[in-house]
Amino acid sequence: MNLNRPVSLNMNVRGMGQSATLAIKQMCRALRQEGRHVYDFGLGQSPFPVPHQVVEALRLAASQKDYLPVEGLPELREAIASFHRTKDQLDIDPHNVLVGPGSKELMFLVQLVYYGEIVLRSPCWVSYMPQSRILGRRISLTHTRYEEGWKITAEQLLRALEIASDNSRPRLIVFNYPSNPTGHTYTADELKELAEVARRFEAIVLSDEIYGQLHHKGEHISIARFYPERTIVSSGLSKWCGAGGWRLGTFAFPKDLEWLKESIAAVASETYTSVCTPVQYAAVCAFRGGSEIEHYLCHVRRLLAALARRCVESLNGVGVRVHLPAGAFYLFLDFTPLADRLARRGIDSGQSMCDALLAEAGVAILPGVAFSRSRSELTARLSYVDFDGDTALAASESIPLDQPLPEEIISARCVNVLDGVKRIAQWVS
């Protein structure tokens, strides 16, 4: 160890490595270059292609080169407002929509400009906590349990907010559902109760609904319906539209939070300036949607739901605890029932479990600690996306949507996912 390395770094970032999901992607790439077969269940990237009309829209916009307004292309902001109107029954003024280079960047900026406590539940998405840490923000973290389906209950939220001496503290509560990493969602009643608690404390809600369109039954409900006056709804192209690498995220603000939107736009104008112009033109096509995109979404949902069922059955069969997800493409695995067996193999933490799985079975999953669980907990996130979305989609399209997807299609098109899950099952047995 060289203690004399002459660095001068902000203490909030010192020692910080790259985001766990990106780091595991690079590790898988390196192992593959060594010729090893890797089941890559680490990164949460949609396996499906960007709908062809959206790709075509990007081609058509390729020569667009002007800087666009910080908040986004006006037509795009209108399309996004109308998307939320149609999909979520929300009344969003296009003027209150903000487009950013990924919703992750917008989440960072909201934490930068807002002065208040950030209220999170764990397991939570990998980047919320590091973002707060970079900015030196105060965090309130509530741990949820397998038994409650990893959901935060209204009672738990109340306990997190009630501080006798300072109930009026400014707070930003982050929700994320369908959830990364657990795939859970909330019922309308649960959302109403959570909204009621938030309202009592006049907290701001940031609802990360980027997987909303990947609810496996197409039945996503936004919490903004029950708390419209102070909820920011976050979405983007990365998940339902398969365009993670394009980097376009969206925030829809209520009228009452215009001051927050304006402040984020001011900082954006001094940092990323505006989102890539050709991508914004293409995104208009994506957010306007239409029957072809709806069709695409229905096939994507049917495939994800069917594949999840197969994985969950297989894992439950060997004693790994995991819920059937309601949306997105993640399973949150809990190996606690197998703790004794794993302890005999020297495994005493989520990280050592994932390291052994990768080394011994070639399966890459991310330990719970990356999602703000404790180090010792034997949990991990599995992204069941290691298959060719193009051919899977084509196979699904041969079966009418009103029929169930034949098991053979999953068996034939998602071999790597099923094999990888089998390897986990063998590895624990």
Site for a copy of itself in 368-427 (CB under 8 A): none
116 vs 228, beta carbon nearer a copy of itself: 116
Q: Indicate whether 19 belongs to the interface with a copy of itself (CB under 8 A).
A: yes
Q: Looking at 104-112, 138-146, 322-330, 344-352, which segment touches a copy of itself (CB under 8 A)?
A: 104-112
Q: Are strands 330-334 and 366-367 parallel, antiparallel or unpaired?
A: unpaired
Q: Is 346 exposed, middle or buried (0-12, 13-18, 19+ CB in 10 A)?
A: exposed
Sequence-distant (6+) residues with CB within 8 A of 188 are: 221
Number of residues that bind a copy of itself (CB under 8 A): 71
HEC string for 316-383: HHCCCECCCCCECCEEEEECHHHHHHHHHCCCCCHHHHHHHHHHHHCEECEEHHHHCCCCCCCEEEEE
User: Which residue number, 58 or 425, has a Cβ lying nearer to a copy of itself?
Assistant: 58
Residue 45 near a copy of itself by CB under 8 A: yes
Residue 23, judged by CB atoms within 10 A of its CB (0-12, 13-18, 19+), counts as middle
The answer to whether the beta carbons of residues 421 and 41 sit under 8 Å apart is: no
The single residue among 94, 218, 228, 278 that binds a copy of itself, judged by CB under 8 A, is: 278
Judged by beta carbon, residue 202 or residue 355, the one nearer a copy of itself is: 202
What are phi and psi for residue 400, nearest 5 degrees?
Answer: -55, 150
Distance between CA 391 and CA 404 in Å, rounded? 18
CB of 272 to a copy of itself, least distance (A): 5
| Candidate residues 2, 59, 147, 164; the one interacting with a copy of itself per rule CB under 8 A | 59
The residue (of 107 and 414) whose beta carbon lies closer to a copy of itself is 107
DSSP string spanning 164-217? TT-TT--EEEEEESS-TTT-----HHHHHHHHHHHHHTT-EEEEE-TTGGGBTT
Residue 189 C-beta: closest distance to a copy of itself, Å: 30
Residue 10 sits in the site that holds a copy of itself (CB under 8 A) = yes
User: In terms of C-beta density within 10 A (0-12 exposed, 13-18 middle, 19 or more buried), how is residue 166 classed?
Assistant: exposed
Interacting positions 301-360 with a copy of itself (CB under 8 A): none
Give the binding range for a copy of itself (CB under 8 A) out of 128-136, 293-301, 346-354, 418-426.
128-136
DSSP state of 16: -
**Site map for a copy of itself, 25-44, x if CB under 8 A?**
xx----------------x-
Nearer to a copy of itself, 134 or 361 (CB): 134
Closest contact distance (angstroms) between CB of 95 and a copy of itself is 13
Amino acid identity for residue 323 in this structure: H
Q: According to the binding rule CB under 8 A, does residue 53 interact with a copy of itself?
A: no
Check binding of 266 to a copy of itself (CB under 8 A).
yes
Within 13 A of 40's CA, how many CA atoms are on the CB side?
23
The one-letter amino acid at 360: E
Q: Which of 28, 90, 92, 131 binds a copy of itself (CB under 8 A)?
A: 131
Identify residues 213-242 at the interface with a copy of itself (CB under 8 A).
242
Q: Which listed range, 50-58, 138-146, 213-221, 306-314, lies at the site for a copy of itself (CB under 8 A)?
A: 50-58
> Which CB sits closer to a copy of itself, 27 or 356?
27
Sequence-distant (6+) residues with CB within 8 A of 156 are 121, 142, 144
**CB distance 354 to 380 below 8 Å:** yes
Q: Which residues contact 247 (CB under 8 A, 6 or more apart)?
A: 101, 102, 238, 275, 276, 279
Closest CB to a copy of itself among 5 and 344? 5
Give, to the nearest 10 degrees, the angle between helix 291-317 and helix 389-397.
110
Q: CB-wise, 131 or 144, nearer to a copy of itself?
A: 131
Q: Contacting a copy of itself (CB under 8 A), which of 82, 263, 336, 351?
A: 263
Residues 154-193 binding a copy of itself (CB under 8 A) are 170
243 lines the binding site for a copy of itself (CB under 8 A): yes
Closest approach of a copy of itself to the CB of residue 203, in Å: 11
